């Protein structure tokens, strides 16, 4: 029986794919943040990590370890990743 290769990395600020993950999660395929400046900001969120899980799988991250990291930092759903973890890899 052949073993499947398991990802070894945790998606977190500072990872080389963090910017892609963060941008895609904030974009139209996930949270869909919109508005700003003179418009009220709106977004979509299921209050789960549904879209984050999908993106973590696509980017080859260790899903369980990445979600555990998010929970340790008070991030309980997709939109909280955007609100609580900075786009430049800094915890806000």
For the chain, give every domain's residue range: 18-84
Q: Provide the angle, in degrees to the nearest 10, between the axes of the packed helices 63-72 and 50-58.
A: 130
Burial annotation 18-39 (CB, 10 A radius, 16+ → b, else e): beebbebbbeeebbebeeeeee
**Are 69 and 12 spatial neighbours (Cβ–Cβ below 8 Å)?**
yes
Give tens-digit pLDDT for 35-83.
877 888 899 998 999 999 999 999 999 999 999 999 999 999 999 999 8
Mean pLDDT estimate for the chain: 87
pTM: predicted TM-score of the whole model, two decimal places = 0.82
- Give the pLDDT band (50/70/90) at residue 5: low
């Amino acid at each position: 029986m052949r073993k499947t290769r398991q990802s070894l990395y945790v998606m977190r600020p500072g990872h080389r794919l963090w910017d892609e993950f963060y941008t895609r999660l904030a974009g139209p395929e996930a949270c869909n943040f919109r508005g700003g400046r003179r418009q009220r900001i709106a977004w979509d969120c299921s209050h789960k990590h549904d879209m984050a899980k999908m993106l973590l799988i696509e980017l080859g991250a260790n899903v369980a370890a990445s979600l555990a990291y998010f929970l340790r930092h008070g991030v309980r759903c997709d939109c909280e990743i955007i609100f609580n973890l900075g786009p430049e890899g800094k915890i806000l």
